[in-house]
Amino acid sequence: MKFESQPSYSLGQRTPASREVAVGENGGNVTLVSQSALGAINRGRVLQALYDNGPKSRADLARLAGVNRTTITGIVQPMIEDQLLIEGDASPSDVKGGKPARPLYFNPDAPMLGAVLLLPGTIQTCLVALTGEIKAVAKAEFDTHGDTEAFIAVMTETLTATLSQAQQAPFGIGVASAGMIDSDNGTILTVNLAPVLTGLPLVAILQERFSLPVAIDHHPRALLVGDRWFGPGRGQQNFAAVYTGEVLGGAFFIDGKVYRGLAGSGGELGHTVVQIDGAPCNCGKHGCWETVAALPWLRKEAARMGLPHPKSITCARLVKEADEGSNAAEELLVRYTRNVAFGIVNLQQTLSLNSYVLHGDVAGGGMKAAELIRQHVEQLVVKRPGQEISITVNGIGEGHTALRGAAGLVLSSHLKLVI
Amino acid sequence: MKFESQPSYSLGQRTPASREVAVGENGGNVTLVSQSALGAINRGRVLQALYDNGPKSRADLARLAGVNRTTITGIVQPMIEDQLLIEGDASPSDVKGGKPARPLYFNPDAPMLGAVLLLPGTIQTCLVALTGEIKAVAKAEFDTHGDTEAFIAVMTETLTATLSQAQQAPFGIGVASAGMIDSDNGTILTVNLAPVLTGLPLVAILQERFSLPVAIDHHPRALLVGDRWFGPGRGQQNFAAVYTGEVLGGAFFIDGKVYRGLAGSGGELGHTVVQIDGAPCNCGKHGCWETVAALPWLRKEAARMGLPHPKSITCARLVKEADEGSNAAEELLVRYTRNVAFGIVNLQQTLSLNSYVLHGDVAGGGMKAAELIRQHVEQLVVKRPGQEISITVNGIGEGHTALRGAAGLVLSSHLKLVI
DNA sequence: AGCAGTTAGTTTGTACCTCGCACAAACTTA
DNA sequence: TAAGTTTGTGCGAGGTACAAACTAACTGCT
């Protein structure tokens, strides 16, 4: 299946294969900004402002961006003509007098984004509208230890089933995957529980089959992007997403952009050390954060303390049992959230992002878990005048955040938001 | 003392008091890029490319930046006319044939930068040429528990003594200070050992007295900038500077710019936790990195192990004694460097910068200490295909790196390098 | 009803920046 | 001496944002 290319301002335009500059020395990656690039940048920023702030009139956008109204008109008009944006009804506005503003927002019928969530053994695909709406969900399973060709066949089939339901060619495809991902080169490095994926150049494969821009990143970073575009991180310029469950991971939104680190390897928080020479970890080291703040620790402690059904313990159940009066559950919950807090404290001391969105198991603990973690963090962080730290949970519709985030990856990486 | 303003392209031009946009919602800090800003940005990038790569011809710069040669000429010509840059002698070049290139570099007689290093009890000031050369050093002492006015008087006097030796008005003044600094607002929040500085709006004060752009940041970040402009970080796009001594601190250069975090509070690594419920720390918590990788720990362990003169132990002496055959020194050195490594490992797992420059006590341990740390880090980090981690020391001329870094702060913050 | 005041969005002309092309200058090689 | 190569400089084209002036639409006062 092939799709036609996009309109001239193109959400999905690929970067022009960054010229090979071989003057070398030490990399020498200075790049000047050209006039034409400038247009693309500003178009991207206007779109992001619309995402971040909801429907807004041209005049509002101009004020928001600190530019002339005419500039906004120039940027926005072609998008309206291409039906990416639509002009809402003239709202009477809150101020008295004056011509009523016409709010602009994304056309619900504009092209959508393809999204893939790749976890060991399962593929989930869907279409995501620019408004965050999810459609055409499809699921499939694959043999984690099987043949690469077989996996690619299943993947292509599932994705085709989803994409074919789109009215128009999607802007692109975003993939969120478990494991270690090289997002620069678009390859899956390793997925512990799915060896079939090792070394798979998935971006190249999908780009070739579907002729669309494709972006890939690891699961926590997709959650981050999902939070940023459609969740509690909307409009924020600095925050982190933290995932806890069988493993721990994180991702950062710094100064208005997704932080990836070299080859996309930033945010592997599970194996930061919080207990020198502590308990052994799967990674072969000792005292990793993962050894004290992930589900295996929780199960082990629940068993040790004699809590019921320790093998299936979750933060959600812990909160429930604590609320029902179990002192043991309360005590374990406090210790668990404190252990989680240490990782956030270290992040805070290092990056000072001040805002954290929790996913996965602790998110299942809801407000109560978040508040406990916030208290621990507050207590453990070196105080700084005027600093407020916010901890939010985004556990509801877990899978949807990851899928929306996968879709958002395409937006983030192909809308040149930052130079 | 007042100085005249700078030429039109102005290295030291202040940002035009970022328009007050009161549309609010959630900050709404989208900013579009204007035409004129673009010019300033590209001028800044060309200058940075010159810094990073040394003298280069227009043609080389054009290749380096991936732009047209004429563009470089347009940017560079006014700077030559204003004597900021000078054209070197035509070098025969390595390639065969063709008109020889005229390398461009900074004019040694161009305006300099004022630099201040502020440590508890002492002020050090100097002038730094764009080439990194240091001139007109002045020192003074102040009463750490005294009167604010008295401190300001000493500071002004010392700085005036230095600045008055400049041939031309400096581009600006950069301040590196111990303690907790709010670099956004240009105030010193707290310096534990110098209460007189608490809450001091130093940037505003100096800006008023000297009518020059002033930038302030904390000591580790100045080291980072010093490394970046004039040291081992030159030309690098991603690296961290780590300082160890009585306290620990760090700073990051991420994607070609200095990372500050909100209100400049990023990089307070000393109080990241590496030992939950470990030894008590000055900050009131337990198991901070500072409790196992700073000098107090080293002294305590040296005493416990019966090493000679434990109160004045340093990494440098430890290396020396180990080289002379002391098994105890060797053993302590290994443990010390391992403890230092844990902090770097956590940084690496979090940000994946791959390159670390050490300052302070461990830097005194030279290559041997660096190599030991590198080995520990290598062993403790989760391996990733193709990843190389570099550990460098920059202990020589410690004070000079901080002063050069202070000067570089002005360049970094007032050369709008990133949009 | 009419007019002033206010805000939104558009039209028009201007300034600025980068790019591609053409060309002179300077040097090497045959 | 001629051909080839590289550097650096004019000049016009194309694209972008901005300022000023204009029209459109609505409120409120007389």
- Within a domain: residue B24? no
d(CA A125, CA A140): 9
Whether the CB-CB separation of B307 and B329 falls below 8 Å is answered with: yes
In a domain, B204, yes or no: yes
Residues in A 323-362 with any Cβ partner in B closer than 8 A: 339, 342, 345-347, 349-354
Same domain membership, residue B344 and residue B243: yes
pLDDT for A351-400, tens place per residue? 999 999 999 999 999 999 999 999 999 999 988 777 889 999 886 665 68
What's the total number of domains in chain B? 3
CA distance A271 to A290: 6
Residues A132 and A60 in one domain: no
pLDDT given for residue B237 in this prediction: 83
Which of B19, B234, B237, B272 to probe by mutation at the A interface, max A CB count within 10 Å?
Answer: B272
* Average pLDDT of the residues of chain B: 86
Determine, yes or no, domain membership for A5. no
Q: Is the pLDDT of residue A25 over 70?
A: no
B99 vs B164, residue with greater confidence? B164
In a domain? residue B276: yes
Output the pLDDT for position A39.
80
Kind of pairing between the strands at B239-244 and A390-393: unpaired
B275 interaction partners in chain A (CB closer than 8 Å): 274-276
Q: What is the strand order of the sheet B122-128 is part of?
A: B134-141, B122-128, B113-119, B173-177, B214-218
Task: For residues B70 and B219, state if they share a domain.
Answer: no
**How distant, in Å, are the alpha carbons of A191, A298, B160 from that of A311?**
24, 9, 70
Do A148 and A163 belong together in one domain? yes
Per-residue pLDDT band for A20 (boundaries 50, 70, 90) equals very low
Which protein residues, judged by their CB atom, are less than 7 Å from any atom of strand D? A 35-36, 38-40, 42, 67-68, 70-71, 74-75, 90, 92, 96-100; B 32-35, 57-60, 69-70, 73, 77, 93, 95, 97-102
A57 touches strand C (CB under 7 A): yes
Read off the pLDDT of each residue in A76-85 and give the average, rounded to a whole number: 87
Q: Report pLDDT digits (tens) over B334-352.
A: 999 999 999 999 999 999 9
* B13, part of any domain: no
Last residue of a domain, one of B62, B88, B106: B106
In the stretch 268-307 of chain A, residues with CB closer than 8 A to chain B read 268-269, 271-276, 278, 283, 285, 292
CATH of the domain at B133: 3.30.420.40
The answer to whether residues B137 and B81 belong to one domain is no
The bridge status of strand A113-119 relative to strand A122-128 is antiparallel
Please classify residue A49 by burial: count the beta carbons closer than 10 Å to its beta carbon, then call 0-12 exposed, 13-18 middle and 19+ buried.
buried
Chain B residue with the nearest C-alpha to that of A376: B285
Residues B357-370 pLDDT 10s: 999 999 999 999 99
The mean predicted confidence, pLDDT, of chain A is 86
CA A368 – CA A363 distance, rounded (Å) = 10
Q: Could you tell me if B36 lies within 8 Å of chain A, comparing CB atoms?
A: no
| Domain end (from A106, A136, A169) | A106
Q: Are residues B279 and B369 located together in one domain of the fold?
A: yes
Could you tell me the CATH number of the domain that includes residue B91? Answer: 1.10.10.10
Residues of B in contact with A238 (CB under 8 A): 261-262
By C-alpha distance, which of A180, A272, A256 is closest to A224?
A256
The answer to whether position A277 is within a domain reads yes
A34's CB contacts (< 8 A; 6+ apart) are: B67
Is strand C within 7 Å of residue B68 (CB)? yes
Please determine, for residue A248, whether its predicted confidence score (pLDDT) is greater than 80: yes
pLDDT tens digits for range B403-418: 999 998 888 776 655 4
Domain range enclosing A388: 235-393
How much of chain A exceeds pLDDT 90, in percent? 55
Contact between A159 and A125 under an 8 Å Cβ cutoff? The reply is yes
DSSP output for B117-131: EEETTEEEEEEE-TT
Q: Is the model more confident about B184 or about B197?
A: B197
- Find the mean pLDDT for residues B243-260: 90
Q: Note whether residue A19 is domain-resident.
A: no
- Contacts of residue A31, Cβ cutoff 8 Å, sequence gap at least 6: A419, B45, B65, B66
Helix axes A327-351, A366-380, angle to 10 degrees: 50
Spatial distance from the CA of A94 to the C1' of D30 (Å): 25
Q: Rounded CA gap, B318 and A207, in Å?
A: 56
Chain segment A93-115, per-residue pLDDT in tens:
566 677 888 889 888 888 899 99
Dihedral sign for Cα atoms in the order A324, A326, A327, A333: negative
Tokens read off for A220: 């926590």
Boundary (domain end) residue, out of A106, A134, A156: A106
Let me know: does B144 contact B163? Beta carbons within 8 Å: no
Encode pLDDT of B265-298 as tens digits: 777 899 999 999 999 998 889 999 999 999 999 9
My answer on whether B289 and B387 are in the same domain is yes
A61-75, A239-253, A331-345, B298-312: range with lowest mean pLDDT: A61-75
Residue B79 CA, chain-centre distance (Å), reads: 26
Residues B190 and B249 reside in one and the same domain: no
Whether the CB of B14 is below 8 Å from some CB of chain A: the reply is: no
% of residues, chain A, pLDDT over 70? 88
Q: Specify the pLDDT at position B29.
A: 57
Q: What Cα–Cα distance (Å) separates residue A167 from each residue in A79, A113, A164?
A: 18, 11, 8
B397 band by pLDDT with thresholds 50, 70 and 90: low
**Tokens encoding B260:** 């500050």
Strand order of the β-sheet with A239-244 is A257-259, A248-254, A239-244, A355-360, A390-393
Per-residue confidence (pLDDT) for residue A415, from 0 to 100: 64
The pLDDT value recorded for residue A249 is 92
Positions of strand C less than 7 angstroms from a protein CB: 5-12, 15-22, 24-29
| Residue B25 pLDDT level (bands cut at 50, 70, 90) | very low
Same domain membership, residue B365 and residue B250: yes
Tokens coding B5: 């303003």
Q: Is residue A18 part of a domain?
A: no
Distance from CA of A163 to the nearest CA of B (A): 33
- Nearest residue, CB atoms, B31 vs list A25, A28, A65: A65
Q: Is the pLDDT of residue B22 over 80?
A: no
Same domain, A192 and A252: no
Is the model's pLDDT at B23 over the cut of 50?
Answer: no
* Domain identity same for B252 and B317: yes
Query: Which pLDDT band, with edges at 50, 70 and 90, does B49 fall under?
Result: confident
Do A247 and A304 sit in the same domain of this protein? Answer: yes
CA distance readout (Å), B311 to B246, B318, B333: 12, 12, 16
